[in-house]
């Protein structure tokens, strides 16, 4: 694996301190403020380590405080319920003695049922979209926000259909569409693929609303932070194979924005749905 991908995978392999108690790795982006997707992916992995033979089907999380990337995060898992078909877990992430993040996750024993999904949007195939190229020679001279963006994306092959600032659909609603997969193959561990996709799902989702308001990511008057995050896992998938991440802006008001996203395989299967509300504060 590349160094960036190896760091991501090894960071998601939590250290077990005690029953239901785990510790994450430090330093994911070289910037003090922890990327929210890192905490989300680690929290999901902590919950998964307490459940057997039942994949996660949904999670709902809140980001409470900014986390420090230079110190480890501790994850406590409460085994809320283990029923015949479903298991429920509550995860609290703690740093410096305070909760910084909470998550409820549900797990479901695989079973057959009614099968339906909406049609995947019509987009060009990944081979016809140019990969995002990063200028690492100028990394040290870039603002922290751009450094975070580059290091978070480093483990992935990212191909932005609509460019960095997104686009609009036929009705004029803001959208961002990207093909993405890890830069190299991952082990055949479904739990790891779900944790990596949770990590990735926080990348750029709330940014979908920026272009609609005339902002770019580099605008220093804009403060952006994840407030909550929800995911629903519909079907099995591999994150080392091409996935279309289709994001759309829903609303922005009161210094908050809501966006939703969907991950599709290149064959058109909807595998994961995502929703997130984020802080979008404009400094006067």
Whether pTM exceeds 0.85? yes
Q: Known catalytic residue: 226?
A: yes
- Put residue 22 in one of left, alpha, beta given phi > 0 → left and psi -120 to 50 → alpha: beta
Mean pLDDT per block of 10 residues along the chain (284 residues) reads: 90 95 77 84 98 97 91 96 97 96 98 94 96 85 79 93 87 94 97 98 90 75 91 98 97 95 98 96 87
Q: How high is the pLDDT of residue 27?
A: 61
Helices 190-201 and 3-12: crossing angle in degrees, nearest 10, is: 110
Give the β-pairing of 21-23 and 74-82: antiparallel
CA 262 – CA 248 distance, rounded (Å): 9
Q: How high is the pLDDT of residue 151?
A: 87
CA 232 – CA 154 distance, rounded (Å): 25
CB atoms within 10 A of CB 43: 28
Q: How high is the pLDDT of residue 134?
A: 85
Q: Which of 205, 210, 215, 200 has its CA nearest to residue 177?
A: 205
Per the CATH hierarchy, to which homologous superfamily does domain 3-110+125-282 belong?
Acyl-CoA thioesterase, double hotdog domain (2.40.160.210)
Q: How high is the pLDDT of residue 147?
A: 80
The per-residue pLDDT for range 14-69, each reduced to its tens digit, is: 999 999 999 998 765 556 678 899 999 999 999 999 999 999 999 999 999 988 88
Given the residues 178, 202, 240, 252, select the one marked as catalytic: 202
Strand partners, 160: 178
Given the residues 48, 87, 201, 226, select the one marked as catalytic: 226
Reduced to 3 states (helix: H, G, I; strand: E, B; else coil), residue 164 is coil
Q: Known catalytic residue: 147?
A: no
Q: How many contiguous H segments (helices) and E segments (strands) does the chain have? A: 4, 13
Q: How high is the pLDDT of residue 46?
A: 98
CA 129 – CA 80 distance, rounded (Å): 45
CA 122 – CA 198 distance, rounded (Å): 24
Q: Are 158 and 132 in contact (CB under 8 A)?
A: yes
The domain ranges of the chain are 3-110+125-282
Q: Known catalytic residue: 202?
A: yes
Q: Are 36 and 229 in contact (CB under 8 A)?
A: yes
Given the residues 48, 87, 252, 276, select the one marked as catalytic: 276
């Amino acid at each position: 694996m590349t160094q960036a991908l190896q760091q991501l995978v090894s960071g998601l392999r939590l250290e077990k301190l005690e029953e239901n108690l785990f510790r994450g790795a430090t330093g994911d982006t070289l910037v003090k403020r922890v990327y929210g997707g890192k905490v989300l992916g680690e929290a999901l992995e902590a919950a998964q380590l307490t459940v057997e033979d039942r994949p996660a089907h949904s999670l709902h999380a809140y980001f409470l405080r900014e986390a420090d990337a230079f110190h480890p995060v501790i994850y406590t898992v409460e085994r809320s319920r283990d029923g015949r078909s479903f298991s429920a877990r509550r995860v609290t992430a703690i740093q410096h003695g305070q909760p910084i993040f909470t998550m409820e996750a549900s797990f479901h024993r695989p079973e057959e049922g009614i099968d339906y999904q909406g049609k995947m949007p019509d987009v060009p195939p990944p081979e016809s979209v140019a990969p995002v190229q990063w200028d690492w020679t100028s990394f040290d001279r870039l603002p922290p926000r751009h450094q975070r963006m580059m290091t978070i994306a480093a483990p992935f092959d990212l191909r932005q259909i609509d460019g960095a600032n997104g686009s609009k659909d036929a009705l004029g609603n803001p959208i961002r569409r990207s093909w993405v997969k890890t830069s190299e193959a991952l082990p055949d561990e479904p739990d790891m693929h779900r944790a990596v996709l949770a990590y990735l799902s926080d990348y750029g989702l709330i940014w979908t609303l920026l272009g609609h308001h005339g902002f770019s990511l580099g605008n220093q008057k804009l403060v952006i932070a994840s407030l909550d995050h929800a995911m629903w896992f519909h079907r099995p998938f591999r994150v080392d194979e091409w996935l279309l991440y289709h994001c759309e802006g829903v609303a922005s008001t009161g210094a908050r924005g809501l966006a939703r996203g969907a991950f599709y395989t290149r064959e058109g299967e909807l595998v994961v749905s995502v929703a997130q509300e984020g802080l979008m504060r404009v400094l006067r």
